Amino acid sequence: MADQVFGGIKIRHLYKIFGPNAGAHVEAVKNGLTKAELNAKYGHVLGLRDINIEMPSGSIQVIMGLSGSGKSTLIRHINRLIDPTAGEVLVDGVDVVKMNEADLREFRRHQTAMVFQKFALLPHRTVLDNTIFGLEIQGIARDKSLDIAMRWLERVGLKGFEEKYPNQLSGGMQQRVGLARALANDAPVLLMDEAYSALDPLIRMDMQTVLLDLQKEIRKTIVFITHDLDEALRLGDQIAILRDGEVIQQGTSQDIVLRPADDYVANFVKEVNRGRVVHVEAVMTPATSPVSGKPAIPIGTTVEDTLRILSREVADEGVVVSPTGAPLGIVSLRQLSGAMVNAH
């Protein structure tokens, strides 16, 4: 399946208002009625306001924000666990909002899988039986289901634990079962709602590495919800930051760290170790003539790793090169040191 990439998502003008007469207030919200005013005047709660996000197939889209920002509400619109008040949710060009009950059931079974913060494992089932649960619902033969489940359990590092029960596993191991269960369905869209938030920091880092390593092969469209900026920067091909149900900024980790949209985002990124996030091409001077005699720095190398290379080579400058080895620019120790300093 690695050569087939599906699951592109486009969210267009998505609004969610919670309350008994939500539809009656959409136009007022579109015309500027605030969240506080909506609640004070009409007793309705604004969950999402005019969300527009495009998530390319095979990428990791992180949705980030503090508690109450609307990120969990947003992810639940993708598989329509929550119905929007207005807007479109297109998966491979098909609007999930317009699906009838039968189509939506098939969509949930075959095109999306979800990994939850609280693991959501069935306590009376073994690790293996938890992993095949989605395949059973799909009606896949048990022999085939077992083969698929065993393969994914091995991939997430749980070979030998098939007959254990959830209460015999650590939190990190339980989350690996949840990930294996989701991957066993082979759905093109993987929804991960605060999937690692309940884990200890070291286990959390380990699970992030597992996901990044797997993604190189599986190339799912992963929507990952988190309130942790370091996690967002490590995982996200694209990041969208929410506040009070609105997208404040979206872009790459480079965009977020180097060009915060406002003080709210700047406050998020001010404690970030920029050396581990910023790539060397963001600070280099473009090459205008042939370069020789300087250490080669592959494009995409972080500032921190570039400093290590120059230190090892005892060099003041390096040449940034493309994957084919073509020189793209020059980077100096002064530029690298400057990139480490938070300008905000």
Q: What CATH number corresponds to the domain at position 181?
A: 3.40.50.300
Long-range contacts of 305-311 (CB under 8 A, 24+ apart): 306/280, 306/331, 306/336, 307/275, 307/333, 307/336, 310/336
Residue 279 β-bridge partners: 302
Structure tokens at 111: 């095109």
- Based on the domain organization, do 255 and 161 belong to the same domain? yes
Q: How many residues does the chain have?
A: 344
Is the whole-model pTM more than 0.85?
A: yes
- Based on the domain organization, do 144 and 263 belong to the same domain? yes
Report the share of the chain in percent with pLDDT over 70. 97
In a domain, 167, yes or no: yes
**Whole domain around residue 187: which residue ranges?**
57-80+95-273
- Based on the domain organization, do 223 and 118 belong to the same domain? yes
pLDDT at residue 273 in the model:
86
In a domain, 154, yes or no: yes
Q: Angle at the Cα of 294 (from 291 to 295), degrees rounded to 5?
A: 125
In a domain, 29, yes or no: no
Average pLDDT, the chain: 91
CATH number, residue 333: 3.10.580.10
pLDDT at residue 5 in the model:
52
In a domain, 309, yes or no: yes
Per-residue pLDDT of the chain (344 residues; tens, 9 = 90+): 334 456 799 999 999 999 999 999 999 999 999 999 999 999 999 999 999 999 999 999 999 998 889 999 999 999 999 999 999 999 999 999 999 999 999 999 899 999 887 778 999 999 999 999 989 988 899 999 999 999 999 999 999 999 999 999 998 899 999 999 999 998 999 999 998 988 888 989 999 999 999 999 999 999 999 999 889 999 999 999 999 999 999 999 989 998 999 998 998 888 888 888 889 998 999 988 777 889 999 999 999 999 999 999 999 999 999 999 899 999 999 999 888 876 54
Q: What is the pLDDT of residues 252-264, one digit of tens each?
A: 998 999 899 999 8
84 Cβ neighbours under 8 A, 6+ residues apart: 14, 15, 16, 48, 77, 97
pLDDT at residue 6 in the model:
67
pLDDT at residue 245 in the model:
94
Q: Tell which phi-psi region holds residue 189, choosing left (phi > 0), alpha (psi between -120 and 50) or beta.
A: beta
In a domain, 232, yes or no: yes
Q: Name the domain count of the chain.
A: 2
Report helix, strand or coil for 251.
strand
